[in-house]
Structure 1
Amino acid sequence: MSPLIEITDPRVLDPETILIDVRAGANAHERYLQGHLPNAIFATLDDDLAAHPEDAAIGGRHPLPSLADFAATLTRWGITPNKHIVVYDDKSAAMGGARLWWMLRSIGHINVQVLNGGLKAATDEGLELSTDDYQPKPAATPYPIPAEYSGTVDIEEVKKAASDENRVVIDVREGQRYQGITEPLDLVAGHIPGAVNLFYSNSMSPEGKYLTSQALASLYKDTIGNTKPEDVVVHCGSGVTACHTLLGMEHAGITGPKLYVGSWSEWSRRDLPIATNTK
């Protein structure tokens, strides 16, 4: 199944499809109520797709929720393992949409896609939005608690990968953050020594959709070269926008790169080496 689905695909609004609208920020619910796809479930990045960290130095600013909590959330949303899920956000999947896609794929829920272009794709198509506060019916049978989130690496593995010439660590933050010129979210500016920079938005068209699979393959190959996909680690500030790049890689046929969930928000708080240039 393609990780992306177009707004013109009839499966998006099929009553059997579970639609999930992921928002981030303090006014997330207000924005949802201003307009969302009909029967789309409201989800928040901070409350549904992340745990609340006691210390960002352990797991970063957006650590994954416990497997039991995530399974309970899926149950509350009426999701069972065989359901087709379409997720989107209002940031062209750069925030919550891709994160939820990755989380579901990570626990083995394969039947999930991201709406290419997000909410903007729906408005561009002229689709009438809903302002209802849609409440899903919980699943009759609890979603099975998964064994693990697969496809992740911890900080110790990143240390090894960043210094291994046969592996590639990709930092998808914007260039000025990577170079250490500015840091609006975390305590220290810079990047993991040995990591290369590929800004996540380079994978997007001016219309806010992903580039073609062929264009994405070329973009990512320029960065990873002949490195095996399973030897690639992707990170960002807190493990969210990195999922946007992982989705793009999947669309390009590059399957197997790992997510460093803690990302820069963890690394920069651990008194570890920091680079502040592109070398």
Structure 2
Amino acid sequence: MLEKEGKPKKASTYPFSKRASQKDALTSHIKAEVTRSVGLIYVDGQPEGTGFRVGEKYIMTCLHVIKKIIMGPLDFISCERVYIQFGRMLHLQNTDQSKIFQFEPSVVYKHEGFDVAVLELKKGEIDFPPPLTLFSADCLPSEEVHLIGHPGGVQMKEDSDVYLNVIEPNNDVDKYIKELSEWSIDYFMNNEDYYSGLRELPRKILFHTTFDKGSSGSPGILIRNHKPCVVLIVAGGVPSVYYEDGIYVEPEKRVEFGYALRDVYDEMQTNEINKKISSEIFKEWIS
């Protein structure tokens, strides 16, 4: 029930014992390739979230990452207040101007429900980093997902051994979230159910991860046919008082969520303008 498989087991009593943790070197190579397409988004000079390259000239991220710089009903951003940095691999790292890219002022696509935004990079003398071009519409409960992003707004990190879940009537996940809702109402002084939003549409994909604030907009990657396929975008976690206010909540009571990119694609298909953009972004679906 939303437990991360493969988490460390208690060490045995004999010296040098360790859990079985071998990984194919090919998997590490594939994830390293993905890092070239993932960047840290800054707003007003401060790290705000993660974004990743899609299409010929776009960045996909969470809408809440850039929402405070969207101006007026025509969805323009204060583009002088935002930029994305690629290749941030060290906590303390000299700024490489060739890895920093600005944005055009118009928001190409946004959706409040899915908390998704697509921005256009401003063309310059330096080529854009490569886009992620393969996507997956499904993910088996037993399939390992790799999150790659900038939790904490610092160097790029990855969290593997992540497994996806959805709430369905009376399944184990449904029962687990009901228990957490009851705990929330009983535990917090404002008697708020911080988990109720997980049941609201559009559909949320639930998981546990070590990623925290700053990872919004990170891609979740499956490896299919030895290739990276994006299956979801990381959006947030509950209870919000832990992620936003720093109130301690035990790890087993935290639930992170995101949105399936197939759901985002289907929504974009309902509008002719967005349909054209979606065809540029979602190049190929792999089962």
Larger radius of gyration: 2
Q: Same fold (TM over 0.5)?
A: no
Question: TM-score, normalising length from structure 2?
Answer: 0.27
* More helix per residue: 1
Question: TM-score, normalising length from structure 1?
Answer: 0.27
